[in-house]
């Protein structure tokens, strides 16, 4: 295993920075001004690099910068965006504002391509600097694939930074229905990004970047507040509002004071009717602390669901200790349950286990009547999936709830756990 592949290992980057057209400044404003300008460039480089980075002059109008202890190319990109962004601003010399064109070439160590010695890294950084000078890019990495990935990522990141201010995020809701009656007993809030040019973008395309950049704290806070605002809206319209569950990321959970973070995000919208969904893997790193935080969350009247259950590696004794009230069986089990007896046995066992721990069991990704019937038979409490409804905007949920309210309650019965349930029609129709 190379050092770079080992967890926690760090990389370094060699950056050659070239101030273009410098001789034009020298010729027009004089050598003295030229020197002043170079000093200003050096100062600005220093001010925008990190304290640990090494800066030196390696030629008439070239600087060398060594970034040490960087985790990956993404982080290098961030540091360079800051530095080259600052160098693009005008420099005040002799009462004038002088703009410079600054270019950079970047090599990274260790990699398979960029060089294994200081000499090779510098030579290759200079080689790619030549390409940068001939291209519209401000700086280029020696490994070409990084340039494309870096540019895409930065463009997406910039758009995401604007998305929250420009109210481009929307929260859709998917109903959870009670297995025995088909009534909507809960909603899951699912985030979408309404990007002006591309339309609705699903979470898998932007949530990882929100998590990587820390923007998930603000966006996740918005989700919590929006869910509770929508809950109040349903309440105000006279419909008994189902509880609303919101997905919470690892980074949100790792906040020093997670309950405080949740309370602050929601503000005066109140936490009544709120559940959070977390995945098993989120809890693994610091179980004791998370258990304490989740107890506090429970005291705030917020329910806790374990999402995508079955895909992690939780031990039974660990689940028993978790202050969670709901288990959501991952959709991969539900999808295979009707064809694989093994999967069916697992689903059935998870339901028994959950019930023994006094938890509500929800099956995710229910798409067919066959799955729904089977789940009912093995006493799964609630179901969620395209069979009942895709995630939809709140106004469509209001219509579904209104229809549900209008249907006469024909008969009542009790399930094995003693909960009063209503049998009868399915009120949320499968999508055609």
| Binding residues for Mg ion (CB under 5 A) | 247, 277, 307-308, 364
Nearest approach, Cβ of 278 to Mg ion (angstroms)? 9
Q: Which is nearer to ligand C2E, 90 or 202 (CB)?
A: 202
Residue whose CB is less far from ligand C2E, 218 or 398:
218
Give whichever of 139 and 309 is closer to Mg ion, judged by the CB atom. 309
| Shortest reach from residue 360's CB to ligand C2E, in Å | 16
How does strand 411-414 pair with strand 184-195? unpaired
**Dist. CA 107–CA 124, nearest whole Å:** 7
Phi, psi values for residue 118, rounded to 5°: -60, -40
Instruction: Tell me the DSSP string of 260-324.
Output: HHHHHHHGGG--TTEEEEEEHHHHGGGHHHHHHHHHHHHHTT-EEEEEEETSS---HHHHHHS--
Q: What is the DSSP string of 139-154?
A: EEESSHHHHHHHHHHH
Residue 203 interacts with ligand C2E (CB under 6 A): yes or no:
yes
Site string for ligand C2E, 176-195 (x = CB under 6 A): --------------xx----
Segment near ligand C2E (CB under 6 A); pick from 199-207, 263-271, 368-376, 418-426? 199-207
Residue span 303-332 as binding mask against ligand C2E, x where in contact by CB under 6 A, dash where not: ----xx----------------------x-
Indicate whether 280 belongs to the interface with ligand C2E (CB under 6 A).
Answer: no
Select the residue interacting with ligand C2E from 36, 179, 247, 326 (CB under 6 A).
Answer: 247
CA distance linking residue 389 with residue 356, whole number of Å: 30
Q: Chain-centre distance of CA 214, in angstroms?
A: 8
Return the number of the residue (23 or 205) whose C-beta is nearest ligand C2E.
205
Q: CB-based contacts of 231: which residues, under 8 Å, 6+ apart?
A: 241, 244, 269, 272, 273, 274
Write down the least CB distance from residue 270 to ligand C2E, Å: 19
Binding test (CB under 6 A) with ligand C2E, winner from 59, 92, 202, 208: 202
Report the residue count for the chain. 432
3-state helix, strand, coil in the chain (%, to 5): 45, 25, 30
CA dist list (Å): 316 to 223, 243, 356? 31, 27, 12
Rounded least distance, CB 171 to Mg ion, Å: 13
Which of ligand C2E, Mg ion, none lies near 386, with the C-beta cut-off 5 to 8 A by kind?
A: ligand C2E
> Which one of ligand C2E, Mg ion, none is in contact with 203 (Cβ closer than 5 to 8 A by kind)?
ligand C2E
Contact status: 354 vs ligand C2E (CB under 6 A): no
The SS3 of residue 66 is strand
Q: Which residues from 65-124 bind ligand C2E, rule CB under 6 A? A: none
Cα separation, 432 vs 428, whole angstroms: 12
Site string for ligand C2E, 376-415 (x = CB under 6 A): ---------xx----x------------------------
The structure tokens listed for 339 are 């064809």
**Residue 403, CA distances (Å) to 178, 183, 372, 408, 428 in order:** 16, 10, 21, 10, 9
**Residue 117: Cβ within 10 Å count:** 9
Of 196 and 203, which CB lies nearer to ligand C2E in the complex structure? 203
Print the binding letters for residues 147-176 with ligand C2E: x by CB under 6 A, - otherwise: ---------------------------x--
Q: Least Å distance between CB 312 and Mg ion?
A: 12
Q: How far is the CB of 386 from ligand C2E (least distance, A)?
A: 4
H helices then E strands: how many in the chain? 16, 18
Tokens standing for residue 300: 């705030």
Angstrom distance (rounded) from CA 138 to CA 92: 21
d(CA 68, CA 58): 18
Backbone angles phi, psi at 206, to 5 degrees: -135, -20
Residue 294 site contact among Mg ion, ligand C2E, none (CB < 5 to 8 Å, cut-off depends on kind): none
Using CB distances below 5 to 8 A depending on partner kind, what does residue 273 bind out of Mg ion, ligand C2E, none? none
Q: Which stretch binds ligand C2E (CB under 6 A): 37-45, 114-122, 261-269, 364-372?
A: 364-372
The minimum distance between CB 391 and ligand C2E, in angstroms, equals 5
Binding site for ligand C2E (CB under 6 A): 174, 190-191, 202-204, 207, 220, 223, 247-249, 277, 307-308, 331, 364-367, 385-386, 391
């Amino acid at each position: 295993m190379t050092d770079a592949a080992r967890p926690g290992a760090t990389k370094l980057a060699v950056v050659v920075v070239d101030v273009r057209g410098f001789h034009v400044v020298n010729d027009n404003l004089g050598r003295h001004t030229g020197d002043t300008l170079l000093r200003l460039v050096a100062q600005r480089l220093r001010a925008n690099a990190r304290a640990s980075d090494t800066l030196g002059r390696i030629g008439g109008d070239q600087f060398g910068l060594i970034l040490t202890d960087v985790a990956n190319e993404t982080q290098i990109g961030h540091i360079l965006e800051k530095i080259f962004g600052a160098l693009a601003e005008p420099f005040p010399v002799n009462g004038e504002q002088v703009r410079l064109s600054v270019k950079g070439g970047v090599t990274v160590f260790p990699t398979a391509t960029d060089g294994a010695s200081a000499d090779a890294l510098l030579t290759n950084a200079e080689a790619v600097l030549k390409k940068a000078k001939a291209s519209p890019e401000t700086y280029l990495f020696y490994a070409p694939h990084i340039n494309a990935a870096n540019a895409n990522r930065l463009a997406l990141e910039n758009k995401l930074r604007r998305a929250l201010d420009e109210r481009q995020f929307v929260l859709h809701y998917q109903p959870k229905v009670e297995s025995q009656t088909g009534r909507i007993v809960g909603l899951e809030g699912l985030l979408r990004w309404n990007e002006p040019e591309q339309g609705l973008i699903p979470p898998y395309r932007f949530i990882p970047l929100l998590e990587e950049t820390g923007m998930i704290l603000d966006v996740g806070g918005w989700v919590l507040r929006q869910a509770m605002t929508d809950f109040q809206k349903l309440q105000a319209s006279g419909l008994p509002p189902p509880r609303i569950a919101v997905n919470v990321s690892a980074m949100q959970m790792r906040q020093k004071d997670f309950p405080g973070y949740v309370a602050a995000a929601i503000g005066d919208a109140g936490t009544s009717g709120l559940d959070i969904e977390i995945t098993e893997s989120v809890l693994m790193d610091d179980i004791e602390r998370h258990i304490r935080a989740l107890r506090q969350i429970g005291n705030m009247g917020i329910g806790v669901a374990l999402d995508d259950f079955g895909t992690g590696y939780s031990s039974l004794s660990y689940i028993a200790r978790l202050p969670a009230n709901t288990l959501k069986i991952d959709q991969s089990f539900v999808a295979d349950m009707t064809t694989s007896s093994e999967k069916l046995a697992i689903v059935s066992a998870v339901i028994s286990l959950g019930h023994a721990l006094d938890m509500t069991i929800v099956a995710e990704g229910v798409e067919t009547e066959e799955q729904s019937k089977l789940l009912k038979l093995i006493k799964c409490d609630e179901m969620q999936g395209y069979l009942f409804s895709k995630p939809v905007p709140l106004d469509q949920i209001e219509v579904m709830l209104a229809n549900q309210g209008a249907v006469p309650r024909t008969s009542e019965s009790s399930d094995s756990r003693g909960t009063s349930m209503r049998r009868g029609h399915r009120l949320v129709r499968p999508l055609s």
